[in-house]
Structure 1
Amino acid sequence: MIVHDFSNETSILNQFILEMRDVSIQKDSMRFRRNVERVGEILCYEMSKTLEYNSKVIKTPLGEKTVNAPTSEIVLCSILRAGIPLHHGILNYFDSVENAFISAYRYHPNGGDDFEVNVKYLAAPSIEGKTLILADPMLATGKTLENVLKALKTHGIPEQIHIISIIGAKPGIELAAKIFPKNTHLWIAAVDNALNERGYIVPGLGDAGDLCYGPRLD
Structure 2
Amino acid sequence: MKSNIHLIDDVGASIILSKLRKQALNPSMVRHYVSEMTAALTRHVLQRPEEGERIAVIIILRSGLAMADQFMDAFENTDDTVAYHLGLFREKESLRPIEYYNKLPAKDPEIRRAYVLDPVVATGGTATAAIDILKDWGVDHITFFSLLGSKQGLDRVADVWPEGTDIFVGAIDNVLDEEGYVQPGLGDIGDRLYGTNRAR
Q: Could you say which TM-score interval applies, normalised by the shorter chain? A: 0.7 to 0.9
What does 1:52-201 align with in structure 2 at a 5 Å threshold?
52=49, 72-94=53-75, 96-108=80-92, 112=93, 114-125=94-105, 126=107, 128=109, 129-155=111-137, 157-201=138-182
Percent identity, aligned pairs only, is: 24
Decide which of 188, 194, 200 is 1:207's aligned counterpart: 188
Question: Which is strand-richer, 1 or 2?
Answer: 1
Whether the 8 Å contact between 2:58 and 2:85 is mirrored in structure 1 is yes
Label 1:10 to 1:91 Cα distance change in 2 as closer, same or farther (>3 A): closer
**TM-score by structure 1 length?**
0.79
**d(CA) in 1 for partners of 2:95, 2:159:** 20
Whether the 8 Å contact between 1:5 and 1:188 is mirrored in structure 2 is yes
RMSD between superposed Cα atoms in Å: 2.1
**d(CA) in 2 for partners of 1:164, 1:10:** 14
Whether the 8 Å contact between 1:36 and 1:89 is mirrored in structure 2 is no
Q: Tell me by how many angstroms 1:18 deviates.
A: 1.0
The letter for the 2-side match of 1:23 is Q
Structure 1: gaps of 5 or more residues: 55-70
How many residue pairs end up in the alignment?
190
**d(CA) in 1 for partners of 2:145, 2:36:** 12
Whether the 8 Å contact between 2:68 and 2:117 is mirrored in structure 1 is yes
1:139-198 deviation digits (Å, cap 9, x = unpaired) = 11111012222333453x212210110110011111111102324221111100010001
Q: Does 2:12 align with 1:28?
A: no
Whether the 8 Å contact between 2:131 and 2:142 is mirrored in structure 1 is no
Whether the 8 Å contact between 1:105 and 1:117 is mirrored in structure 2 is yes
Whether the 8 Å contact between 2:122 and 2:180 is mirrored in structure 1 is yes
The letter for the 1-side match of 2:115 is I
**d(CA) in 2 for partners of 1:146, 1:20:** 25
**d(CA) in 2 for partners of 1:127, 1:201:** 36
Whether the 8 Å contact between 1:105 and 1:144 is mirrored in structure 2 is yes
**d(CA) in 2 for partners of 1:184, 1:159:** 9
**TM-score by structure 2 length?**
0.85
Structure 2: gaps of 5 or more residues: none
Q: Tell me by how many angstroms 1:53 deviates.
A: 5.2
**d(CA) in 1 for partners of 2:69, 2:15:** 20
